[in-house]
């Protein structure tokens, strides 16, 4: 098939964009084990769609392609463009513009036959006019009605179609902001496309744009949550590429603004356990039956949240609950450290022990999730206790290894 | 109801723009090419121009006039309406206006209860505060209308200060849940937390503003990552929002170079420390020194 810039299946480009944006160290040879042509086509598509963000580096293994984007410098997420590259047929686009021209105002209501005849009349000016039969037009009208673009009105035996009422859009600043910060922000970007282009007045720090590649999955999960439905998830275990299919009741989306990851919290394993699924590891979501015990499950998650540090609901040690506490020391001009503990404590507790010392403690399902955060206090940790001795040893061992790595090991200062 | 649909396609938008022009006057091939280039992607004109001129997409006549009788428009899809309804439930919407347009009569796509941010700092800006909202709106108005502001604020050290500046942008951090105003006074680029502003008013005087758009002071840090415990993926995800490059050194080791604003150096130090021994800073020496200094202080505190 001839190359086209447009994308039929988003999942493939989702994988390539993730590879180019997150990793970017693989050479062509590492991608082309399955199909060299497929790689070349996807690379060319991404290069065209994300013109200006592609970078190349020559290595002994070949030419590496990667996407380099400083998201603080761009007012709009460039990855949204991929969502605007969906393929269509010549008939689709022709019919699209003709239908909305025929149904140009909400007051205009016509039958299928009237619409088909009007289409024919408009096309009659061409040398070789396209012919759309009634069944093709009906299919498109029904598709647009399902998307909410048209309204079907039944009167007796006849069905009339008219366009939906226009909805008022909020100001451009509102859309600029929420298209970058709200879940499924790409939909806000679609709305911005309806307005005159402008540079925007917002910038975004600590802005993770990769999650936008999971918008379709997120949207399907929201529909499940709103309708209180069980869903079937197809997931992938990235290290070995194994896929799994399971049923789960989607309860809440958890977002980490410090790692850019999004998770689904869902009741899985015959609804016996609430656990997390990374959105970028979900390949597809299919709706199932409405779940009668939905509110109970959601209530369970709400109660559990007071002991969830990140998203994990079980520990490696097997203990139902793990305890962590540590103390930090700070100088007279370092009151900001105490404030840091207060603002970052999440479900933990902070107590001031003395003028220059504070203790943090928490009881959580999985204390290993806290280790990266505790490490950010390296240089002022005076005491540390994990209820799981293995975690304690692991933390201290890593600390020792870091000290050795930077020449600060044992005895006197190096 | 899907996100990936041709209804939102850049091609449809480009053709709509072309048809709008064609309803005003017969469009030339050059105009078609330029409009396609502007509204779609870098190679799009290679598809759009022949599809229209060869009448495969039968919406434009050979003479450059459209077959449409009205400007091309499309109502909002259900998905767009549901998303709008959802953002109208976000408390931050009140920052922008008190009187919002009427929310679409549909179910929201999500509610604030459906999404939980697990690691946002607890001392975010007071969006419910009327004075904060008034400051925010005046700043946004100044950005839209391009006029300078006189700002009284409390500095990080608790002192009162005044600045006269030309606002350039409002920067929002999802992690801090704070807005910062970035602008230029006559000497430098200034950054003020909007939450620290005591009063703000339009400034009527004349001043020469510091050269706008000057690059922030940039710095670079080079890390060597040992890909154990999924460290490579975690590092690349964590630092994904920076301009960066990753190189494979061998099957286990990778070099990652990250470019950041020098003002954020302390934040970079603690973010790198959070990865423990699987990330080793190899350069520059000044950054290695910052890590080493923290470890030495830790040694004095014990645990090493």
Q: The domain that contains A401 carries what CATH number?
A: 3.30.70
Helix count and strand count (H, E) for chain A = 13, 15
Q: Judge whether residue A128 has pLDDT over 80.
A: yes
Q: Compute CA distances B116 → A279, A310, B192, whole Å.
A: 14, 11, 28
The answer for B 89-128 residues in CB contact with A (under 8 A) is: 90, 92-93, 96-97, 100-102, 104, 106-110, 113-123
Q: Compute CA distances B254 → A17, A194, A208, B246, B250, whole Å.
A: 20, 43, 22, 7, 7
Cβ–Cβ of A148/B248 closer than 8 Å?
no
pLDDT tier, A32 (very low <50, low <70, confident <90, very high otherwise) = low
Cis peptide before A342 (omega within 30 of 0): no
Residue of A94, A126, A413 lying closest to B296 (CB–CB) = A413
Count the alpha carbons within 13 Å of B195 in the hemisphere toward its beta carbon: 15
> Per the domain annotation, does A108 fall within a domain?
yes
Question: What percent of chain A shows pLDDT beyond 70?
Answer: 98
Q: Structural domain of residue A17, as residue ranges?
A: 10-70
A299 and A218 assigned to the same domain: yes
Question: Strand, coil or helix: what is A106?
Answer: coil
Q: With left for phi above 0 and alpha for psi between -120 and 50, is residue A397 left, alpha or beta?
A: alpha
State residue B193's pLDDT score.
97
> Per the domain annotation, does A81 fall within a domain?
no
Cβ–Cβ of A93/B90 closer than 8 Å?
no
pLDDT tier, A1 (very low <50, low <70, confident <90, very high otherwise) = low
Task: Tally the domains of chain A.
Answer: 5
Say if strands A282-290 and A357-364 run parallel, antiparallel, or are unpaired.
Answer: unpaired
Q: Judge whether residue A140 has pLDDT over 80.
A: yes
Q: List, for residues B174-213, the tens digit of each pLDDT value.
A: 999 999 999 999 888 899 999 999 999 999 988 777 765 5
A334 and A398 assigned to the same domain: yes
Residue A285's CATH number = 2.30.30.520
CA angle B215, B220, B222 (to 5 degrees): 165
A294 and A228 assigned to the same domain: yes
- Return the closest-CA partner of residue A90 out of B170, B59, B168, B129: B59
A215 and A300 assigned to the same domain: yes
> Per the domain annotation, does A189 fall within a domain?
yes
pLDDT tier, A281 (very low <50, low <70, confident <90, very high otherwise) = very high
Q: CB contact, 8 Å: B203 with chain A? A: no
Cβ–Cβ of B12/A202 closer than 8 Å?
no
Q: Cβ distance A217 to A268 under 8 Å?
A: no
Cβ–Cβ of A125/B271 closer than 8 Å?
no
Cβ–Cβ of B243/A90 closer than 8 Å?
no
Residue of B143, B246, B296 lying closest to A23 (CB–CB) = B246
A260 and A277 assigned to the same domain: yes
Give the number of A-B residue pairs with CB atoms closer than 8 Å.
Answer: 397
Cβ–Cβ of A148/B77 closer than 8 Å?
yes
Q: List, for residues A197-237, the tens digit of each pLDDT value.
A: 888 999 999 999 999 999 999 999 999 999 999 999 999 99
| DSSP one-letter code for A363 | E
Question: Strand, coil or helix: what is A235?
Answer: strand
A148 and A201 assigned to the same domain: no
- Return the closest-CA partner of residue A188 out of A199, A203, A173: A173
Q: List, for residues A55-101, the tens digit of each pLDDT value.
A: 887 877 777 888 888 888 888 999 999 999 999 999 999 999 999 99
Cβ–Cβ of B107/A226 closer than 8 Å?
yes
Q: Which of A163, A182, A199 is the last residue of a domain?
A: A163
State residue A58's pLDDT score.
80
A129 and A142 assigned to the same domain: yes
pLDDT tier, A414 (very low <50, low <70, confident <90, very high otherwise) = very low
A228 and A275 assigned to the same domain: yes
A193 and A246 assigned to the same domain: no
State residue B104's pLDDT score.
82
pLDDT tier, A54 (very low <50, low <70, confident <90, very high otherwise) = confident
CATH class of B130-202: mainly beta
Q: CB contact, 8 Å: B86 with chain A? A: yes
The answer for B 15-44 residues in CB contact with A (under 8 A) is: 15-16, 19, 41-44
Mean pLDDT over all residues of chain A? 92
> Per the domain annotation, does A106 fall within a domain?
yes
Q: CB contact, 8 Å: A124 with chain B? A: no
State residue B236's pLDDT score.
93
Q: Which of A131, A163, A195 is the last residue of a domain?
A: A163
pLDDT tier, A412 (very low <50, low <70, confident <90, very high otherwise) = very low
Low-confidence ranges of chain B (pLDDT < 70): 211-216
pLDDT tier, A19 (very low <50, low <70, confident <90, very high otherwise) = confident
Q: Which of A19, A37, A70 is the last residue of a domain?
A: A70
Question: Which of the residue ranges A19-28, A185-194, B47-56 would you say has the lowest mean pLDDT?
Answer: A19-28
Q: List, for residues B106-126, the tens digit of each pLDDT value.
A: 999 999 999 999 999 999 999
Q: B158-185 burial by CB neighbour count: b if 16+ within 10 A, else e?
A: eeeeebbbbbbbbbbbbbbbbbbbbbbb
Q: List, for residues B215-242, the tens digit of each pLDDT value.
A: 568 899 999 999 998 899 999 999 999 9
Predicted ipTM of the assembly: 0.94
State residue B188's pLDDT score.
87
Looking at domain B218-301, its CATH architecture is 2-Layer Sandwich (3.30)
Q: List, for residues A391-405, the tens digit of each pLDDT value.
A: 999 999 999 999 999
Q: Cβ distance B242 to B259 under 8 Å?
A: yes
- Residue of chain A whose Cα is closest to the Cα of B80: A187
A203 and A215 assigned to the same domain: no
pTM, to two decimals: 0.94
- Residue of chain A whose Cα is closest to the Cα of B111: A226
pLDDT tier, A413 (very low <50, low <70, confident <90, very high otherwise) = very low
Q: Cβ distance B253 to B282 under 8 Å?
A: no
Centroid of chain to Cα A139 = 31
The CB-based long-range contact list for A123-132 (8 Å cut-off, 24+ gap) reads: A123/A94, A123/A98, A123/B58, A123/B67, A125/B61, A125/B67, A126/B55, A126/B58, A126/B61, A127/B55, A128/B55, A129/B58, A130/A90, A130/A91, A130/A94, A130/B58, A132/A91, A132/A95
DSSP alpha helices (H): ranges in A183-305? 186-192, 215-227, 294-304
A289 and A217 assigned to the same domain: yes
Domain ranges of chain B: 1-74, 78-114, 130-202, 218-301
């Amino acid at each position: 098939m001839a190359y086209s810039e447009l994308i039929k299946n988003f999942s493939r480009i989702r994988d390539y964009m993730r590879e180019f944006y997150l990793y970017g160290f693989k050479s062509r040879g590492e991608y082309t084990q399955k199909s060299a042509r497929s790689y070349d086509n996807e690379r060319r598509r991404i290069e065209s769609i994300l013109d200006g963000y592609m970078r190349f580096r020559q290595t002994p293994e070949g030419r590496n392609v990667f996407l380099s984007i400083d998201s603080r410098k761009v007012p709009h997420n460039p990855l949204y463009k991929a969502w605007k590259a969906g393929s269509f047929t010549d008939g689709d686009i022709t019919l699209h513009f003709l239908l909305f021209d025929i149904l140009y105002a909400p007051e205009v209501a016509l039958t299928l036959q009237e619409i088909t005849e009007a289409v024919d009349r408009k096309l009659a000016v061409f040398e070789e006019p396209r012919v759309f039969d009634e069944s093709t037009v009906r299919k498109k009208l029904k598709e647009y009605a399902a998307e909410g673009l048209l309204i079907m009105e039944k009167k007796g035996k006849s069905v009339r179609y008219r366009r939906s009422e226009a909805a008022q859009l909020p100001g451009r600043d509102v859309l600029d902001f929420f298209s970058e910060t709200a879940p499924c922000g790409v939909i806000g970007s679609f709305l911005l496309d309806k307005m005159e282009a402008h540079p925007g007045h917002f910038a975004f720090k600590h802005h993770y744009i990769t999650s936008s590649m999971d918008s379709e999955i997120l949207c399907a999960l929201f529909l499940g949550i709103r309708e209180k439905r069980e869903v079937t998830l197809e997931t992938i275990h990235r290290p070995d590429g194994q896929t799994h299919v399971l049923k789960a009741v989607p309860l809440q989306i958890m977002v980490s603004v410090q790692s850019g990851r999004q998770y689904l919290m869902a009741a899985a394993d015959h609804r016996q356990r609430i656990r997390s699924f990374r959105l970028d590891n979900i390949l597809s979501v299919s709706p199932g039956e409405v779940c009668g015990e939905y509110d109970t499950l959601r209530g369970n998650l709400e109660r559990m949240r007071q002991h969830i540090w990140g998203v994990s609901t079980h520990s490696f040690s097997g203990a139902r609950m793990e305890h962590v506490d540590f103390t930090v020391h700070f100088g007279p001009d370092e009151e900001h450290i105490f404030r840091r503990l207060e603002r970052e404590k999440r479900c933990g507790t902070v107590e001031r022990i003395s003028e220059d010392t504070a203790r943090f403690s928490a009881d959580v399902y999985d204390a290993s999730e806290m280790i990266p955060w505790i490490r950010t206090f390296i240089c002022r940790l005076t005491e540390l206790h994990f209820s799981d001795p293995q975690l304690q040893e692991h933390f201290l061992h890593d600390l020792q290894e870091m000290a050795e790595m930077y020449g600060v090991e044992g005895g006197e200062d190096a | 109801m899907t996100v990936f649909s041709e209804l939102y396609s850049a091609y449809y938008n480009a053709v709509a723009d072309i048809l709008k022009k064609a309803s005003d006057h017969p469009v030339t091939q050059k105009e078609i090419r330029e409009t396609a280039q502007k509204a779609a992607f870098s190679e799009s004109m290679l598809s759009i121009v022949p599809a229209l001129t060869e009448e495969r997409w039968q919406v434009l006549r050979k003479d450059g006039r459209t077959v449409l009788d009205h400007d091309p428009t499309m109502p909002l899809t259900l998905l767009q309406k549901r998303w709008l309804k959802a953002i109208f439930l976000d408390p931050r919407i009140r920052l922008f206006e008190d009187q919002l347009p009427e929310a679409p009569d549909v179910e929201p796509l999500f509610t604030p209860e459906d999404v939980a941010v697990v690691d946002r700092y607890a001392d975010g800006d007071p969006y419910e505060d009327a004075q904060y909202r008034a400051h925010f709106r005046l700043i946004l108005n100044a950005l839209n209308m391009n006029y300078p502001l006189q700002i009284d604020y409390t500095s990080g050290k608790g002192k009162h200060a005044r600045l006269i500046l030309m606002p350039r942008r409002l920067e929002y951090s999802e992690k801090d849940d704070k807005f910062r105003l970035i602008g230029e006074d006559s000497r430098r680029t200034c950054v003020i937390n909007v939450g620290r502003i005591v009063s703000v008013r339009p400034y009527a005087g004349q001043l020469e503003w510091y050269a706008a758009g000057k690059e922030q002071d940039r710095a670079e840090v080079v890390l060597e990552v040992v890909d154990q415990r999924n460290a490579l993926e975690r590092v690349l995800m964590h630092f994904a929002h920076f301009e960066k490059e990753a190189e494979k050194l061998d099957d286990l080791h990778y070099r990652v170079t990250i470019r950041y604003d020098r003002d954020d150096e302390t934040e970079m130090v603690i973010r790198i420390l959070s990865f423990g021994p699987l990330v080793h800073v190899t350069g520059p020496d000044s950054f290695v020194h910052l890590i080493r200094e923290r470890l030495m202080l830790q040694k004095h505190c014990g645990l090493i």
